[in-house]
Structure 1
Amino acid sequence: MMLKKVLATALAGVMLAGLAACGGDKDTETASATAGAAGQNWRYAHEEFEGDVQDVFAQKFREYIEANSPHTVQVFRFGELGESDDIMEQTQAGILQFVNQSPGFTGSLIPEAQIFFIPYLLPVEDEQIVEFFRSSVAINEMFTELYAEQGLELLTMYPEGEMVVTADTPVRSPEDFRGKNIRTMTNPLLAETYRAFGATPTPLAWGEVYGGLQTNIIQGQENPIFWIQSGGLYEVSPNLIFTGHGQFTTAMMANQAFFNGLSAEDQQLVRDATAHAFDYITEYVPGLGDRMLEKILEASDQVTVTRLTAEERQAFMDRAPQVEARFIEMTGERGAALLEQFKADLEAVVGE
């Protein structure tokens, strides 16, 4: 596993050297408001595999750009330029123009982004969650300012599906989590969530998760069902637990210097392409989890599915306030104000 990571990192370095060597002058031109009729090639990286949600979103964005302008978009999938932290660094450096990254990784850069990991804050129902992302002031105004402070133009956030836990044994209570090392992204608040749930949070890069489950270094992890299916995680962690504790959320953004250097026409093009991809993906994701779960059950007779009852879920919900308190402790007044607006936006959509 370590050798594979070293090789992947080396390959990413070679690719990036090539991109930088051949793209420097082009990036300068792209940043100019006078892009011209010849068009530019824009580079866009995301965190998932071919055909996964972020890839579908990226392809719809690319299709719109290329159908409505002389520009082209080159999409890089997971591992082609490294892992999540690598592609974020490359975006901030201007090597990439666009990046799709979940707040699970951005949380170390923007602590307030960890709000998405407060358990039982976001509903898991598809229609409610889509309307929330469309209309939320917290997401569409407050988060835009937070990302801008890091040199990033936040273009949209969108949900990818309910988070599902996989483990070496079925789990129905916090007591069942005791003694289990549960993989988390490098996100302090997510670690706090699993600590509250009774488990031992274990931060681990994605490239090490399958092997960690296979060798029992970790006994579980969480992801939306489509990722559990495409990554084959059910093969080494066959017990699926639907706790209803949250949605996997991701953000699509641009290097801000690049975006600000675009003509007004191209800025609107990017926003229109983003809206086009958002509309498509919010129709695509509902039902995706059910379809992928069917594929998992067809592929393996070792898989179990546990859906917590209302009473069982309440035992986990009772532990959520300590995670919320930890979020405010981490983020201070800005985090508290964001959380207040977040809750007001949710109430406007789903009620008290």
Structure 2
Amino acid sequence: MNSFSKLGKLAGMSALAFAAITAANSVSAANWRYAHEEYEGDVQDVYAYKFKEYIEEHSDHSLQVYRFGELGESDDIMEQTQAGILNFVNQSPGFTGSLIPEAQIFFIPYLMPTDMDRVIGFFRNSEAINQDFPRLYAEKGLELLKMYPEGEMVITLDEPVTTPEGLDNKKIRVMTNPLLSETYSAFGATPTPLPWGEVYGALQTNMIQGQENPIFWIESGGLYEVSPNLIFTGHGWFTTAMMANQDFYNGLSDEDKKLVQDAADYAFEEIIAHIDGLAERSLEKITSNSDKVTVTRLNAQQVAAFRQRAPQVEDKFVEMTGKRGQELLDKFKQDLQEIQHN
């Protein structure tokens, strides 16, 4: 065999080897599907795209992100994840609470701090968040990858109020979450569960007189246009959770499991940087866009009037969740005390 024949044969073998490797990679590479509850540029969307960025930069996999409404409402995307149609889902405990009752703990008013440093410290270090919650989600076929905060909750109303009595006879939209309904009943309002897609129209037609959300969501959803009075009660932060279908996750290689965990951690750090100052920027946009907006920040005495109604919500939480809920609540309080002490 002459040298040209040898080179040709080697070239052919190399081409075959390359084709085999390419075929193997194409088989192992997957297109994963991820859905969340918010609009383009909102906090969950930023998290999803940071997660996607990490996955695609560190593997041959690709990730398709679906925003609010593209695959239905929050309940729809959770059902699709549990069925294995979606691989990943980002859903707040406000909706997960009907599936995992203990997740409603985030809606006990005045349990969580409102200053960002302590909030972030809690999510980074809390045993309840990082050890107990993954077990609760696993019972429902979900692999909890990350819980993270989005922003302080703000009430919008048809008029400014500073007392619980000001909420009397006010229909306040709440997520489909029994404990959140209990919170607004305790505050004196009439809680009205509604899916997100109906909220703007219900405010516009006075079917409801108010709702609660982080300020960035009030801005991006245009809620201030139909509910212009913003009340900062300091009663909690909006929390969300990013998770995977557990059968899908358990079927991944160890390498891909680490990839997914690392991507979730990366996106968490990116989102913490993103929400720093986000509320202030969103509020500035709102006040610039509308001269009808009022901003009411309750003072310590006014907050105390709302806070004294919180224990009945704690009692309701324990009634709903039993001994396990009580243990989780005690752990939350212990974690928060340790963070405040440190």
Specify the TM-score bucket, using the shorter chain as the normaliser: over 0.9
**What SS does the aligned partner of 1:78 have?**
coil
Structure 2 residue matching 1:37: 3-state secondary structure: helix
- Using the TM superposition, give the Cα deviation of residue 37 of structure 1 relative to its aligned residue in structure 2, in angstroms: 2.1
Q: Corresponding residue for 1:37?
A: 25
Alignment of 1:205-220 (within 5 A): 205-220=195-210
Alpha-carbon shift at residue 102 of structure 1 (Å): 0.1
* Structure 2 residue 92 is the aligned partner of structure 1 residue 102: yes
The one-letter code sitting in structure 2 at the alignment partner of 1:89 is E
Structure 2 partner of 1:9 = none
Mapping of 1:254-293 within 5 angstroms?
254-293=244-283
Q: Any residues of structure 2 matched to 1:338-349 within 5 Å, and which?
A: 338-349=328-339
CA distance in 2, matches of 1:302, 1:165: 16
The yes-or-no answer on 1:50 pairing with 2:34 is no
Q: Which residue of 2 aligns with 1:11?
A: none
In the aligned structure 2, how far is the partner of 1:284 from the partner of 1:60?
A: 11
The farther-off stretch of 309-318 and 279-288 is 279-288
Distance in 1 of aligned mates of 2:32 and 2:57: 14
2:97, 2:242 → 1: CA distance? 14
Q: In 2, Cα distance between the equivalents of 1:292 and 1:69?
A: 35
Distance 1:205 1:351 in 2: 39
User: Can you list the C-alpha shifts for 1:221-263, whole angstroms capped at 9, x where unaligned?
Assistant: 0000000000000000000000000000000000000000000
- Is the aligned partner of 1:235 residue 2:225? yes
Structure 1 distance, partners of 2:55, 2:38, is 21
**Pair 118,36 (structure 1): closer, same or farther in 2 beyond 3 Å:** farther
Question: Superposition pairs for residues 182-197 of structure 1, below 5 Å?
Answer: 182-197=172-187
Q: 1:329 aligns with which of 302, 306, 319?
A: 319
Whole-angstrom CA distance in 2 between matches of 1:351 and 1:171: 34
Aligned counterpart, 2:49: 59
**TM-aligned CA distance change 1:36 to 1:90, over 3 Å:** farther
Alignment match, 1:93:
83
Deviations 1:190-246 (A, max 9, x none): 000000000000000000000000000000000000000000000000000000000
1:295 corresponds to 2:285: yes
Structure 1 position 111 matched with structure 2 position 101 = yes
Provide the C-alpha distance between the structure 1 equivalents of 2:260 and 2:80, rounded to a whole number of angstroms.
20
- How far, CA to CA, are the matches of 2:229 and 2:24 in structure 1? 55
Look up the SS of the partner of 2:86 in the other structure.
Answer: coil
Tell me how far apart the structure 1 counterparts of residues 335 and 80 of structure 2 sit (CA, whole Å): 33
Q: What do residues 155-185 of structure 1 show as CA deviations (whole Å, max 9, x unaligned)?
A: 0100000000000000100000001000000
Task: Provide the C-alpha distance between the structure 2 equivalents of 1:231 and 1:328, rounded to a whole number of angstroms.
Answer: 34
User: How far is 1:36 from its partner?
Assistant: 5.2
State the shift of 1:351 in Å: 3.7
Using the TM superposition, give the Cα deviation of residue 283 of structure 1 relative to its aligned residue in structure 2, in angstroms. 1.2
* Percent of paired sites with the same residue: 70
TM-score by length of 1: 0.89
Which secondary structure state, in structure 1, belongs to the residue aligned with residue 25 of structure 2? coil
1:202 aligned counterpart, secondary structure: strand
State the TM-score, normalized to the length of structure 2.
0.92
SS at match of 1:119: coil
Looking at structure 2, the residues matched to 255 and 178 of structure 1 have their Cα atoms a distance apart, in angstroms, of 42
Larger Rg: 2
Counterpart in the other structure of 1:180: 170
| Pick aligned residue for 2:192 from 179, 202, 206 | 202
